[in-house]
Amino acid sequence: MLVTKNLAELCALLIDDLHGELPSFFSPQRIFGTLLSRGRSAVVQLVQQTSLTPKQIRHGLIVLLQHNLVYYRVDDSTKVATFEANPDVAYNLVRSGKILAMIEEKYGPAARDVIQNFMVLGHTKIGDLVGAYRERIAAAEQAGAQATTNPFEDDAKPNGEVNGGINGDINGDVKPPAQTLQVSALDVKSTAHLNEVLCELIQAEILTVVNPKSFQSPADRNAMVSEQIMKLHFPDGVKAGKKKIEFDAMLSDQLGKLRDEPTRLKRKLDESRGGRVKSRKITNGDVTNGFHHVASDVNLELNAVLRLNYEKCTVEMRNQTLVQAASESIGHVTGQVYAVLLQLLGDQISRCQLDTLIDNQDGGDNPFTNKRFVTTADILDSLSTSLDVSLGIGKAPKGEIDVPTAERVHRDIPREKLLYVEEPGADEGSGDENMDDDDEFDYDSEGEVAPANHANGANGHTNGKVRFEDAPPAKESRLQQMRQHLLLLCDSKQGFVRHCGHGRWTVDYDILLRNIRTEELDNVIERKVGRQGLRLARILREKGKLDEKALPALALMKKTDVQNKMLEMQMHGYVDVQEVPRDNNRTASRTIFLWFCDPERSSAQLLDNSYKAMLRCMQIRDVHRRENKDVLTFVERPDVKGREQEALEKKYFDKYERFRDIENKLLGQVMRLDDLVAVLRDY
């Protein structure tokens, strides 16, 4: 990930905000900021650059390692450890609230409680976690029996986090003793319940196993594997040709095994618990979350160390973003059907960003040879029975429906949308030639459209227009109605779904996210320079480089208006001009001025501006915190929490309320900007 100045400052500020209560004699924020600006450094170099003592540096590095905020590597020859910043995890700290909300919605409050403790503690041994929960559960039961006050009352923080950590406060021990590990156990009722929650989260890949290779950066792992392959199989070196292909295949295979090593516990649980199963409908119309809910009879490895897997959390949040986009574009019911499809596909996907060294070698993860799909029967089986799929479907006379167009099948990714991909022999489905006659669920043979005299308007006639009905036709099954929602998703301009044929559906994430990024960029351009500027940007994006003399005719605008608008857009960085001289004199009259639009550069600039805006919001919040330090210090007392209005005088309570209102607005803006960053960079 490219780390700009604004991103580096934002990551350092997030670390300072999370670890702000650490002792002042060492600062993880200062160490992390130095690693971002100076690059890979050893302890001796950090001492010189940060003016801290070696003991303070080691304490800070242990805290950062505990939360996976830095990588380290030990040189075999010198035995000196060097450290490198991990900006990806540092930025993900801003999404802690979103991740917890997503976990609670999908897996329940107990899973949210467990994930929150992993966020506070960093990577943790299962045995230590179970011991800490056992003590807290026993204390809660004893307190409940004695009818005393809530033992968790002092553990709540204003921001929703929990107090405690390693040895009461994060003091840098990588493997804390079980008797001193403090956790929140509000929703976990027993150790058996905790075991079940951990198994569920491990099978969902939300939690992953930590091994020594997990502390190495991707570049170090690639270099290590490459060096081993060269020594064992290619001692004479690798040249272009057959040996190069063999080397790339071996490298991809070894890196894939190394990446899949932390999932060994997941595979073990899949074998012992029967693996993940597709969601089943239950009596109240809801669906399960995709796991066997049976009594926990699997004993986890107590020595295994777990940590939060941000890559899988990003996949889940991407699904939420796509569902929201489909709901806003088509309708709520169609969005719910799309959510089920994405959930079934998401169970097969471990990360959003693909590694070119690994995923381009096997077709399973390559977006251009993606073979993942779900069937119509799986979607129907997982769909909640409380959802009325008859809503939001347009009805038209059967004779006016173009069946080949509606049921168009694309067995391969459309090539016209991937200009840089050339695959000879690719079969792009369209029209009657690619109609899938063997589709397991043929809408045309099984479904019947409502008759013309159906109650659908004042006279009961459609008059050739598409109408929406509150009640479905009697002969139209739930399966056929659901398929119509899927076909709406296929026919959308964004390309939410692709119909593969044989009752199979898939999502081309690369094309879909590219279209959504373009929409986000268009929204920003429209807000900055207006509709006319957006029209000019779209023309340049479609036509490529154009002479300034051709733009007025294409945009149907005056020449002066076009010139003024193009200069304004150039100042914002959305377009640029290339000068092509006709001769060596390079005079203006003998020069061709070609305007062009570079979406990638515009997106990169928009991304950096988003970092800068988030940083300013966090800094403004810190200013207001310092201005209201006296009131905030008072309300953070354990005997004041929850009863601020009673404990504070009116003028101080009003001051506290104003601060909370300002803070909520600033944090809300940060969350909206993070949604934009996720679309432009992570999804």
pTM, rounded to two decimals: 0.79
DSSP code of residue 471: S
Residue whose structure tokens are 């509000």 = 186
Cα–Cα distance for residue pair 515/523, rounded to 1 Å = 12
CA dihedral 595, 598, 601, 606 (to 10 degrees): 90
**Neighbouring residues of 305: CB distance < 8 A, sequence distance ≥ 6:** 123, 124, 125, 126, 209, 210
Cα–Cα distance for residue pair 231/225, rounded to 1 Å = 10
Helix (H, G, I), strand (E, B) or coil at 308: strand
Tokens found for residue 9: 């400052």
Return the HEC string of 100-116.
HHHHHHHHCHHHHHHHH
CB 438 within 8 A of CB 373: no
Cα–Cα distance for residue pair 64/151, rounded to 1 Å = 30
Please give the radius of gyration of the chain, using alpha carbons only, rounded to the nearest integer: 29
Helix ranges restricted to H, 544-586: 551-555, 559-572
Helix (H, G, I), strand (E, B) or coil at 501: strand
pLDDT at 348: 85
Cα–Cα distance for residue pair 325/317, rounded to 1 Å = 12
- Give 306's strand partners: 124, 209
Q: Nearest Cα to 599, choosing from 683, 543, 518?
A: 518
- Give 499's strand partners: 505
DSSP code of residue 287: B
**Neighbouring residues of 453: CB distance < 8 A, sequence distance ≥ 6:** 460, 461
| Largest CA-CA distance found in the chain, in angstroms, rounded | 95
Strand order in the sheet with 504-506: 374-375, 504-506, 498-501
**Neighbouring residues of 256: CB distance < 8 A, sequence distance ≥ 6:** 358, 361, 362
Helix (H, G, I), strand (E, B) or coil at 83: strand
Cα–Cα distance for residue pair 430/490, rounded to 1 Å = 13
Cα–Cα distance for residue pair 268/266, rounded to 1 Å = 5
The amino acid occupying position 52 is L
Q: Kindly report the CA angle at 459 between 454 and 462, in degrees rounded to 5?
A: 60
Tokens found for residue 46: 């950090």
Q: Nearest Cα to 195, choosing from 104, 102, 124, 111?
A: 111
Cα–Cα distance for residue pair 327/331, rounded to 1 Å = 4
pLDDT means per 10 residues, the chain with 683 residues, are 86 82 57 87 88 85 89 86 90 92 91 91 89 82 58 39 34 40 69 88 91 87 87 79 83 86 84 56 39 50 89 93 91 91 89 79 45 85 86 71 68 53 41 40 37 36 46 62 88 86 86 90 90 91 87 89 90 87 79 87 91 94 91 86 84 90 93 93 88
CB 648 within 8 A of CB 636: no
For 399-429, letters b (16+ CB in 10 Å) and e give eeeeeeeebbbbbbbeeeebeeeeeeeeeeb
pLDDT at 100: 93
The amino acid occupying position 588 is A
Q: Kindly report the CA angle at 407 between 403 and 408, in degrees rounded to 5?
A: 115
For 252-268, letters b (16+ CB in 10 Å) and e give bebbbebbeebbebbee
For 414-449, the DSSP string reads -GGG-TT---TT-----GGGG--TT-SS-HHHH--P
CB 44 within 8 A of CB 59: no
pLDDT at 275: 55
Cα–Cα distance for residue pair 555/561, rounded to 1 Å = 10
CB 333 within 8 A of CB 391: yes
Burial class (CB in 10 A: 0-12, 13-18, 19+), 47: middle
Cα–Cα distance for residue pair 441/378, rounded to 1 Å = 12
- Give 576's strand partners: 596
Strand order in the sheet with 546-547: 546-547, 591-596, 576-581
Q: Tell me how far the alpha carbon of residue 542 is from its chain's centroid.
A: 29
CB 290 within 8 A of CB 278: yes
CB 70 within 8 A of CB 84: yes
CB 72 within 8 A of CB 43: no
Cα–Cα distance for residue pair 66/175, rounded to 1 Å = 9
CA quadruple 172, 173, 175, 180: dihedral positive or negative? Answer: negative
CB 294 within 8 A of CB 258: no
Cα–Cα distance for residue pair 503/495, rounded to 1 Å = 18
Cα–Cα distance for residue pair 54/278, rounded to 1 Å = 53
CA quadruple 436, 440, 446, 448: dihedral positive or negative? Answer: negative
Given phi > 0 = left and psi -120 to 50 = alpha, else beta, which region is 123?
Answer: beta
CB 103 within 8 A of CB 212: no
The amino acid occupying position 31 is I
For 480-496, letters b (16+ CB in 10 Å) and e give bbbbbbbbbbbebebbb
Q: How many CB atoms lie within 10 A of CB 55?
A: 11
Helix (H, G, I), strand (E, B) or coil at 492: coil
